[in-house]
Amino acid sequence: MALRYALIAIAFASECIAVDRCYHPDGSSANTDYQPCHQGRVSMCCAIGRAVSDPAYNKCRPDDLCMEKGRAIGNVYRESCTDPTWKDPHCLQLCSSGILNQPDGTQTDLSTTDTLVTLCTDGSYCCGYNTTSCCDNQQGYWVKDGTVYPYSQSPYVGAVPSNAANCSADSSSTSSAPNAPSCASTPENKTTAIGVGVGLGVPLLIALASIAILLRKKRTNTQPQLQTAYPYEKPTVMPK
């Protein structure tokens, strides 16, 4: 019985410390370099699991896109999401379907992979690398609060917030634009990362403590019981 409870506790702890997987829009799995940008909910992913020295190392941006360390400023990636169905509103539906014609004449199915996204100077986004013609012709998309809108249906009234076109993966922020948010090199921030680590460690400690208590009780129950010794008394002889 104790072994059964121990196995259950270990399984529970393993489930608690499992890392969320990331998926492309078609449901295929991304490799483990891709990790969630936010903890505790469905989240977009970036390649933050790579070594910081790797040119392909990513930082999560506030708009849930990814900045690659070795990529030219002005181009970012739309990467994977922790929801394999991509139906959760936290999965950014930007350049996630359809066919993209590449400059070399090849075509890419956007649902099967990550894709480069061009940051237009007016705050909109265009699919593909350095697709300035799309920006100039106003054929891109707007993103607000995780929702994607066609260019002709801008959700903004008045000034459009900066899309942080100068946000670099080499530093927290190199932009001088007043509205440009900074990049995050780790999920949320260091405080969140520490909190997540503590949160994952607590269930494991509880499980190990439960196992120790169960094993101790089992040893106690199997020990022989000591009998109390009483002093010998000479039996009384009745007179005849």
pLDDT of residue 11: 45
Q: What are the tens digits of pLDDT across the range 5-47?
A: 444 444 444 444 456 899 999 999 999 999 999 999 999 999 9
Eight-state DSSP code of residue 32: T
Half-sphere exposure in the Cβ direction for 162 (13 Å, CA): 14
Q: What residue type is 171 in one-letter code?
A: S
- 6 vs 127: which has the higher pLDDT: 127
Half-sphere exposure in the Cβ direction for 105 (13 Å, CA): 0
34 closest CA partner among 17, 20, 49, 23:
49
Q: Which residues lie closer than 8 Å to 144 by C-beta, 6 or more apart?
A: 155, 156
CB 73 within 8 A of CB 163: no
Domain ranges of the chain: 21-188
Tell me the average pLDDT across 208-219: 61
CB 124 within 8 A of CB 138: yes
pLDDT of 231 over the 90 cut:
no
Alpha-carbon distance 171 to 176, whole Å? 13
> Model pTM?
0.65
pLDDT of residue 218: 59
Tell me the average pLDDT across 210-230: 55
Q: What are the tens digits of pLDDT across the range 169-189?
A: 554 433 323 233 345 544 444
